[in-house]
Amino acid sequence: MTTTSVHPAWLPTEAWRPIGTRRVRVDVTGTVRDEVRAACALHGGELVTTGEADLILRIGGADGYAITRERHVTTVSSATHAGLLHGLFATVRMGESAFVPGPRIDSAPAFARRMLDHWDNLDVHPVMGQVERGYAGGSLFWRAGALRTADLPRVRDYARLLASIGINAVALNNVNVHATEARLLTDRLPDLVTLADVFRPYAVRVHLAVTFAAPIVLGGLDTADPLDPAVRAWWSVTLAAVYERIPDFGGVLVKADSEGRPGPFAYGRTHADGANMLAEALAPHGGVVHWRAFVYNHRQDWRDRTTDRARAAYDHFAPLDGAFAGNVVLQVKHGPMDFQPREPISPVLAAMPRTRLAMELQITQEYTGQQRHVCYLAPMWSAVISGAPAARELAGVANTGDDPFWTGHPLAQANLYAFGRLAWDPSLAPETILDEWITLTFDPDDAAREALHAIMDESWRTYERYTAPLGVGFMVRPGHHYGPDVDGYEYTPWGTYHFADRDGVGVDRTVATGTGYTGLYPYPWNEIFESLADCPDELLLFMHHVPYTHVLRSGETVIQHIYDTHFAGVSEVEAMRERWQRIKIAPDVHARVSTLLDEQLRSAIEWRDQINTYFFRKSGIGDIRGRKIY
Ligand code: BDP
């Protein structure tokens, strides 16, 4: 496996470390962007001089950064090392305009912590591979159970890449913590120390996913009961030892009582008991616990219509509002199920005003085409972020790996870029972010820029059109979750059902006749979702079970909508592919994306034909436009 890679061009190619005041001369008559890149080569107070204008990097001012642009002098100022770094990267993004006199720019991040969660295993897992739900090769950090020490330069590039988009925290191992990963907390700690040293200059703090059972599996105790004094003492001593080696260690990330992971329920304790125990051990060092709210019964009886997985996180956590310590961050998936292409915003995010909340997004495309399909996710994220103002932090499941393009699909880099940019400034429009990314990555001519927008802007909606309809979700192949299998999960214990029969489809989550889920939302969303007339079309089958002849707000019947969107989705992918064939772009990128678009089209056709045929057979209602359905 090679460690050289294609750098996303939004990155300066050289490392730099901003400490104290820096003054860099750049040549305004040369290529300014190149000069800004040269400025990034700055190390330890050296002055890079090539011309008449200055880029001055100065510590001072507020958190975040300010950029002032006067004639020949552009000044970046910040109170912090991190702010200075982000200010410099902002000038890189601005290109020439950073050096044209203009109004002062003040920028501060909307989310205090902007975190990436890597679901990396140290070794190849027999079922999940190395990176769980990873579609970009192996782990950047780990190989064959060990730290990739020879590849640390690439990790440094990665740290810089993350800093360039404002990421400031990273969890370096899978939330499903297996035996080897667990030991990063104790005897494998030196590996974490090494990685923390690599990330530190880029103001990215490292976090570690830990197993709740650590006192047993690592400490030799016979319990992990959070109220047991010996257990509490073990965590205090163990975490203190981590801080001795990594003074800026961010904290721990925990998946407990979820999908078979150990947790406080085994001891009759609550999630607040579990999280607060860790919080107490971390508090003296300024660390935080990210405690995931992804807790549900994954062994439910599918015949039992009263259990609703969408309710689970709310039912477990909302009653605990106010019970969590101040340094516990409850990390909540953006939707109530599991990263489907379309879900309502999780009601947990509106139900816990006395709890620190992080919203969790999935950058890795588990359910959105697995980095084989073009699916630019910023439009979805932008909507869910603006709909959940209580979330103070943003966490994203990473889509990166040791693939030469970092993300498998070269265009999936745009999702990582957009995650960082939205976490900094959620008011940025998805098309604007994409435009930035296109400019920085390809420096394209007008035709290529237009083609990239045409391919990517709407690609999430295209993906939605040819997959599960109207918010019902899943319908994917069990296990790996790629490609269609309408009934794949229908009679399983996972709680992900569509309830299609000959008369209709959808999950009745109303208060009046269903699971009561709609009632978990504050007004007016409880009433909007409860009402068949007011529920947005795109979430209709998430909230209601309706006949195929039900007329949507769009004026179409449900069955006709299914046919129309599935035909449209495939046509859109065909158009993407044609555009891509004509685009002028770097040959290696072109070749990789061409192959992937072939696969996307094959897969979209497979989705269209299975979904359409399934619903035609169930309903017996034909397509009014007379297209071929098998
Ligand atoms: C699901 C993934 C699974 C993760 C789980 C989680 O299929 O691999 O472990 O989420 O978030 O989406 O913990």
Average pLDDT over residues 239-260: 97
Question: Do 45 and 22 contact (CB within 8 A), yes or no?
Answer: yes
| Least reliable range by pLDDT among 11-15, 31-35, 450-454 | 11-15
pLDDT (tens digit per residue) in 458-507: 999 999 999 999 999 999 999 999 999 999 999 999 999 999 999 999 99
**Cβ of 255 less than 6 Å from ligand 1:** yes
The alpha carbon of residue 553 and the mean position of all alpha carbons in its chain are separated, in whole angstroms, by 31
How many residues would you count in the chain?
630
Average pLDDT over residues 426-454: 95
Q: Can you give the pLDDT at residue 78?
A: 82
Give the pLDDT band (50/70/90) at residue 46.
Answer: very low
Protein residue closest via CA to atom 11 of ligand 1: 294
Q: Can you give the pLDDT at residue 57?
A: 47
Give the pLDDT band (50/70/90) at residue 17.
Answer: very low
Q: Can you give the pLDDT at residue 59?
A: 38
Task: Say how far apart CA 41 and CA 215 lie, in whole Å.
Answer: 45
Phi, psi of 5 (to 5 degrees): -155, 165
**Cβ of 132 less than 6 Å from ligand 1:** yes
The larger pLDDT score, comparing residue 33 to residue 553, is at 553
The larger pLDDT score, comparing residue 618 to residue 443, is at 618
Q: Can you give the pLDDT at residue 76?
A: 86
Q: Can you give the pLDDT at residue 66?
A: 87
Q: Can you give the pLDDT at residue 31?
A: 40
555: left (phi over 0), alpha (psi -120 to 50) or beta: left
* Domain extent listing, the chain: 22-107, 113-429, 464-507+545-619
**Cβ of 337 less than 6 Å from ligand 1:** no
Q: Can you give the pLDDT at residue 615?
A: 98
Pocket test for ligand 1, best of 128, 296, 338 (most atoms within 8 A of CB): 338
Task: Say how far apart CA 511 and CA 538 lie, in whole Å.
Answer: 20
Give the pLDDT band (50/70/90) at residue 77.
Answer: confident
| Least reliable range by pLDDT among 3-7, 170-174, 583-587 | 3-7
Report the DSSP pairing between strands 251-254 and 205-209.
Answer: parallel
Give the pLDDT band (50/70/90) at residue 63.
Answer: low
Average pLDDT over residues 112-140: 95
**Is the pLDDT reported for residue 62 higher than 80?**
no
Burial environment of residue 482 by CB neighbours within 10 A (0 to 12, 13 to 18, 19 or more): middle
Selection from 232, 311, 313 nearest residue 275 by Cα:
232
Tell me if the bond preceding 524 is cis, omega within 30° of 0: yes
**Is the pLDDT reported for residue 28 higher than 80?**
no
- Helix, coil or strand: residue 505: strand
Protein residue closest via CA to atom 10 of ligand 1: 338
Q: Can you give the pLDDT at residue 84?
A: 86
CATH superfamily of domain region 113-429:
Glycosidases (3.20.20.80)
Q: Can you give the pLDDT at residue 310?
A: 98
**Is the pLDDT reported for residue 25 higher than 70?**
no
Average pLDDT over residues 263-286: 98
**Cβ of 366 less than 6 Å from ligand 1:** yes
For residue 65, the CA-to-ligand 1 centroid distance in Å is: 36
For residue 517, the CA-to-ligand 1 centroid distance in Å is: 22
**Cβ of 261 less than 6 Å from ligand 1:** no
For the chain, helix, strand, coil in percent to 5 are 40, 15, 45
Amino acid at 390: A
pLDDT (tens digit per residue) in 335-358: 999 999 999 999 999 999 999 999
CB count within 10 Å of CB 581 equals 10
Pocket test for ligand 1, best of 119, 127, 177, 340 (most atoms within 8 A of CB): 119
**In the CATH hierarchy, which fold is given to the domain comprising 464-507+545-619?**
Alpha-d-glucuronidase, C-terminal Domain (3.90.1330)
| Least reliable range by pLDDT among 36-45, 118-127, 418-427, 598-607 | 36-45
Q: Mean of the per-residue pLDDT values for the chain?
A: 90
Task: Say how far apart CA 55 and CA 99 lie, in whole Å.
Answer: 8
- Helix, coil or strand: residue 54: strand
Please list, in sequence order, all residues whose beta carbon lies within 8 angstroms of the beta carbon of residue 98, skipping any fewer than 6 positions away: 32, 36, 55, 67, 69, 74, 90, 91, 92
- Helix, coil or strand: residue 544: coil
Task: Say how far apart CA 530 and CA 516 lie, in whole Å.
Answer: 9
Please list, in sequence order, all residues whose beta carbon lies within 8 angstroms of the beta carbon of residue 263, skipping any fewer than 6 positions away: 212, 256, 257, 271, 274, 295
Instruction: Work out the percent of the chain whose per-residue pLDDT is above 70.
Output: 90
**Cβ of 175 less than 6 Å from ligand 1:** yes
Atom of ligand 1 nearest to the CA of 128: 8
CATH 3.30.160 fits 22-107, yes or no: yes
Q: Locate 596 and state its tokens.
A: 């992937």
**Cβ of 257 less than 6 Å from ligand 1:** no
Catalytic residues: 259, 338, 366
**Is the pLDDT reported for residue 624 higher than 70?**
yes
Average pLDDT over residues 236-242: 98
Amino acid at 174: N
Task: Say how far apart CA 84 and CA 75 lie, in whole Å.
Answer: 10
Question: Do 129 and 408 contact (CB within 8 A), yes or no?
Answer: no
Instruction: Work out the percent of the chain whose per-residue pLDDT is above 90.
Output: 82
For residue 18, the CA-to-ligand 1 centroid distance in Å is: 37
State in Å, rounded, how far the first CA of the chain is from the last one.
44
Atom of ligand 1 nearest to the CA of 133: 8
Q: Can you give the pLDDT at residue 414?
A: 97
Cα separations in angstroms, 558 against 451, 463, 497, 628: 32, 18, 18, 18
Cα separations in angstroms, 629 against 250, 360, 437, 473, 572: 54, 38, 39, 22, 18
Task: Say how far apart CA 335 and CA 380 lie, in whole Å.
Answer: 11
